[in-house]
Amino acid sequence: MAGVLAGAVTLAGAVAAPRIVAAQIVAAQIVSQAEVQTGIFGLEARGSRFVYVFDRSASMAEPDGRPLARAKEELLRSLDQLGDVQQFSIIFYNERMQLFTPGAARRLIFATEDTKRAARRFVESVPAAGGTRHAEPLAAALRLAPDVIFMLTDGDQADDLAAEEHAKLGESLGRTRCMIVQFGGDGAVRSPRLARLATQSGGSYTVVNAAE
């Protein structure tokens, strides 16, 4: 009798295993269909949940407002690549954060045509002003648990993360990849700790010329 029961259990397991595998395949296909590849300034990443963290400090207006204008163009171009199954959030920052929060909800929202239109209005309304503090907006973005953070700043090395800020953010990365773009004329690393955070997350860091 024990042998019969053991055989039955083995047979049930053999029948269930293909079903489990099939379910896993279907789940993977659903996730894959929800993902899209997008990026800013040549840094691209694949995912379904994105947060854009963009510097709006006063220096982003010099010269002639071009750096902030270029940043906004890249953000909106990336946003246009998202479909209504992807989710996003936008954070502009100087010493404080300015969040895109339709309906006053601090969460990721689906990239429907309506929300993308609202996001465009928000982005176009953001002025350049103030200084640069990276840690708080990065921490806020990480709390949303996105697949990818796209960050843009023109901060100098003096604006880089403090050692303790870098350590705390590193502990909060989870599975989020940080793709960080820094404006600068000579291509040299301007913020070593931001660069390390990007590498630590499995993302990338690059310096581009805002005038190009």
- Rounded to two decimals, the pTM is 0.84
Architecture of domain 36-208: 3-Layer(aba) Sandwich (3.40)
**Would you kindly state where each structural domain of the chain is located, as residue ranges?**
1-34, 36-208
39-58: average pLDDT: 98
Contacts of 49 (CB under 8 A, 6+ apart): 86, 87, 88, 108, 144, 145, 146, 147, 148
Q: How many whole angstroms separate alpha carbon 177 and alpha carbon 198?
A: 7
Q: Give the pLDDT score at 186.
A: 76
Q: How many whole angstroms separate alpha carbon 179 and alpha carbon 153?
A: 11
* Residue closest to 122 by CA, chosen among 177, 52, 181: 52
Q: What are the tens digits of pLDDT across the range 144-192? A: 999 999 999 999 889 999 999 999 999 999 999 999 999 987 778 999 9
pLDDT band at 115 (very low <50, low <70, confident <90, very high): very high
**How many residues make up the chain in this entry?**
212
Contacts of 139 (CB under 8 A, 6+ apart): 168, 169, 172
Question: Is the pLDDT assigned to residue 197 strictly greater than 90?
Answer: yes
Q: What are the tens digits of pLDDT across the range 1-46? A: 555 545 554 545 555 555 544 433 333 344 456 999 999 999 999 9
104-131: average pLDDT: 93
